[in-house]
């Protein structure tokens, strides 16, 4: 059974701070890792994906992957109240052919 684990939160951070979201996965064969943001009542929006060990930066977001530890994280710099949402970590074995397995999500609250 493939599993993706996230702390459900809520994670509360002040505006302007760095929010750190974590995710672990059980399947060592996983190759593709995704972070999605989901606002209440809406479908998930892709923030970024990462395939290789190390860091990948996109604007205020940085994804970090450590395959040896089976760990992937998302850092949000200069957090804004509009970043308040549920962040979903998702994992797939092969991009394009394999199903995406989601974690339970972490609810982030950014307060002014």
Partner 1 sequence: GAVVSQHPSRVICKSGTSVKIECRSLDFQATTMFWYRQFPKQSLMLMATSNEGSKATYEQGVEKDKFLINHASLTLSTLTVTSAHPEDSSFYICSAVLENYGYTFGSGTRLTVV
Q: Are 65 and 53 in contact (CB under 8 A)?
A: yes
Residue of 24, 76, 79, 105 that binds partner 1 (CB under 8 A): 105
Q: Which lies closer to partner 1 via its Cβ, residue 14 or residue 59? A: 59
Choose one: 19-27, 62-70, 72-80, 88-96; the region binding partner 1 (CB under 8 A): 88-96
How far are the Cα atoms of 3, 43, 78 from residue 17, in angstroms, in the given order? Answer: 30, 26, 5
77 touches partner 1 (CB under 8 A):
no
Determine the Cα–Cα distance for residues 19 and 103; give it in Å rounded to an integer.
Answer: 18
Determine the Cα–Cα distance for residues 2 and 47; give it in Å rounded to an integer.
Answer: 22
Residue of 63, 85, 91, 101 that binds partner 1 (CB under 8 A): 101
92 touches partner 1 (CB under 8 A):
yes
71 touches partner 1 (CB under 8 A):
no
Residues 24-53 touching partner 1, rule: CB under 8 A, are 32, 34, 36, 41-46, 49
Q: What are phi and psi of 106, to 5 degrees?
A: -120, 125
Helix runs in 3-84, H state only = none
Specify the 3-state DSSP secondary structure of 29. Answer: coil
Residues at the contact surface with partner 1, assessed by CB under 8 A: 32, 34, 36, 41-46, 49, 88, 90, 92, 95-97, 99-105
């Amino acid at each position: 059974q493939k599993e993706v684990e996230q702390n459900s939160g809520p994670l509360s951070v002040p505006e302007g701070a760095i929010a750190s979201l974590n995710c672990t996965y059980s399947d060592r064969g996983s190759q593709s890792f995704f972070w999605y943001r989901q606002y209440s009542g809406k479908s998930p929006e892709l923030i970024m994906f990462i395939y290789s060990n190390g860091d990948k930066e996109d604007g205020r977001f940085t994804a970090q992957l450590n395959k040896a530890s089976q760990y992937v994280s998302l850092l949000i710099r200069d957090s804004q109240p509009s970043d308040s949402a549920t962040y979903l970590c998702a994992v797939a074995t092969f991009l394009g052919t394999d199903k995406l397995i989601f974690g339970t999500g972490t609810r982030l609250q950014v307060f002014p």
